Chains A and B, each alone.
Chain A
Amino acid sequence: MFSSETVIHPPGSSPKERELRTYRWPEEGLAVIPDWIYTSQAIYDREMESIFRGRTWNYVALEAEIPKPGDYLRSYVGATPVVVAREQDGSVHVFENRCAHRGVEFCRQARGNASEFVCPYHQWSYDLSGNLQGIPFKRGVKGEKDSGMPAGFRTEDHGLCKLEVRILHGVVFATFARDMESVETYLGAEILKDFEVVFKDRKPRILGYYRNELPGNWKLYHENLKDPYHATLLHSFLVTFGLMVAGNKSKMIADPSGRHGTMASAKSDDVMKAVDAETQQQMRSFRTDLKLADRRFLEFMREFDSPWSVTMQTIWPNLIVQRELNTLGVRQIVPNGPHSMIMMWTMFGYEDDSEEMTRHRLRQGNLMGPSGFLGLEDNEAIKFLQEGVRRSPGERGVLLLGGTNEGTADTLASEASIRAMYRNYREVMGL
Chain B
Amino acid sequence: MMIAGYEIAAIEARAAREARADIEDFHNLYCNTLDLGDLALWPDFFTEDALYVVIARENVEANLPAGLVYAEGRAMIRDRAFAVKNTMMFAPRYLQHFVSNVTVLSIAGEQIRSQSHYLLLQTLVEGPTTIQQAGRYYDTFVRGGKQLLLKERRCVYDTTLIANDLVMPV
Of residues 232 through 260 on chain A, the ones whose CB sits less than 8 Å from some CB of chain B are 234, 236-237, 240
Which of A5, A208, A371 lies in contact with B165, CB distance below 8 A?
A371
Given contacts A7-B127, A8-B126, A365-B67, contact A380 B79 (CB under 8 A): no
Task: Give chain A residues whose Cβ lies under 8 Å from the Cβ of B80.
Answer: 366, 373
Q: Is B8 an interface residue (CB 8 A)?
A: no
Closest beta carbon of chain A to B96's beta carbon, Å = 14
Which of A7, A290, A379 lies in contact with B126, CB distance below 8 A?
A7
CB <8 Å contact, B66 and A365 = yes
| Assembly CA distance A363 to B73 (angstroms) | 11
Q: Is A78 an interface residue (CB 8 A)?
A: no
Task: Give chain B residues whose Cβ lies under 8 Å from the Cβ of A363.
Answer: 70-72, 76
Q: Is A228 an interface residue (CB 8 A)?
A: no
Which of B69, B161, B163 lies in contact with A366, CB distance below 8 A?
B69
Q: Could you say which of B31-39, B87-95, B141-149 contacts chain A?
A: B87-95
| Assembly CA distance A371 to B69 (angstroms) | 6
Which of A211, A359, A380 lies in contact with B89, CB distance below 8 A?
A380
Q: Is B104 an interface residue (CB 8 A)?
A: no
Closest beta carbon of chain B to A277's beta carbon, Å = 21
CB <8 Å contact, B163 and A381 = no
CB <8 Å contact, A347 and B162 = no
**From DSSP, what is the main secondary structure of chain A's interface residues?**
mixed
Closest beta carbon of chain B to A188's beta carbon, Å = 31
Which of B59, B62, B73, B167 lies in contact with A371, CB distance below 8 A?
B167
Q: Is B29 an interface residue (CB 8 A)?
A: no
Closest beta carbon of chain B to A426's beta carbon, Å = 29
Q: Could you say which of A116-124, A212-220, A305-313, A408-416 contacts chain B?
A: A212-220
CB <8 Å contact, A208 and B87 = no
Of residues 120 through 170 on chain B, the ones whose CB sits less than 8 Å from some CB of chain A are 122, 124, 126-128, 130, 160-167
Of residues 162 through 219 on chain A, the ones whose CB sits less than 8 Å from some CB of chain B are 206-215
CB <8 Å contact, B88 and A236 = yes
Q: Is A48 an interface residue (CB 8 A)?
A: no
CB <8 Å contact, B161 and A211 = yes
Which of B66, B78, B122 lies in contact with A362, CB distance below 8 A?
B66
| Assembly CA distance A347 to B67 (angstroms) | 10
Closest beta carbon of chain B to A176's beta carbon, Å = 25
Which of A2, A211, A293, A380 lies in contact with B160, CB distance below 8 A?
A211
Task: Give chain A residues whose Cβ lies under 8 Å from the Cβ of B71.
Answer: 363, 366
Q: Is A287 an interface residue (CB 8 A)?
A: yes
Q: CB-nearest residue of chain A relative to B74?
A: A293
Q: Is B86 an interface residue (CB 8 A)?
A: yes
CB <8 Å contact, B128 and A5 = yes
Q: Could you say which of B9-17, B18-26, B50-58, B107-115 contacts chain A?
A: B50-58
Q: Is A111 an interface residue (CB 8 A)?
A: yes
Of residues 1 through 27 on chain A, the ones whose CB sits less than 8 Å from some CB of chain B are 1-2, 5-8
Closest beta carbon of chain B to A218's beta carbon, Å = 14
**Further pairs besides A7-B128, A377-B88: 20, Cβ < 8 Å:** A6-B127, A210-B68, A210-B162, A212-B161, A213-B162, A215-B164, A234-B89, A237-B83, A285-B87, A287-B87, A290-B83, A293-B78, A293-B79, A294-B72, A363-B70, A370-B162, A371-B68, A380-B91, A380-B165, A384-B91
3 closest A-B pairs by beta carbon, nearest first, are A208-B66, A294-B75, A293-B75
Q: Which residues of B contact A (CB under 8 A)?
A: 54-56, 58-59, 62, 64-73, 75-76, 78-80, 82-83, 86-91, 122, 124, 126-128, 130, 160-167
| Pairs A–B under 8 Å by Cβ, sample size 21 | A1-B128, A6-B127, A207-B65, A208-B62, A210-B162, A212-B165, A214-B164, A236-B87, A237-B83, A289-B86, A290-B86, A293-B76, A366-B70, A370-B164, A373-B80, A373-B87, A373-B88, A376-B88, A376-B166, A376-B167, A380-B165
Q: Which residues of A contact B (CB under 8 A)?
A: 1-2, 5-8, 110-111, 206-215, 234, 236-237, 240, 285, 287, 289-290, 292-294, 297, 342, 347, 358-359, 362-363, 365-366, 369-371, 373, 375-377, 379-381, 383-384
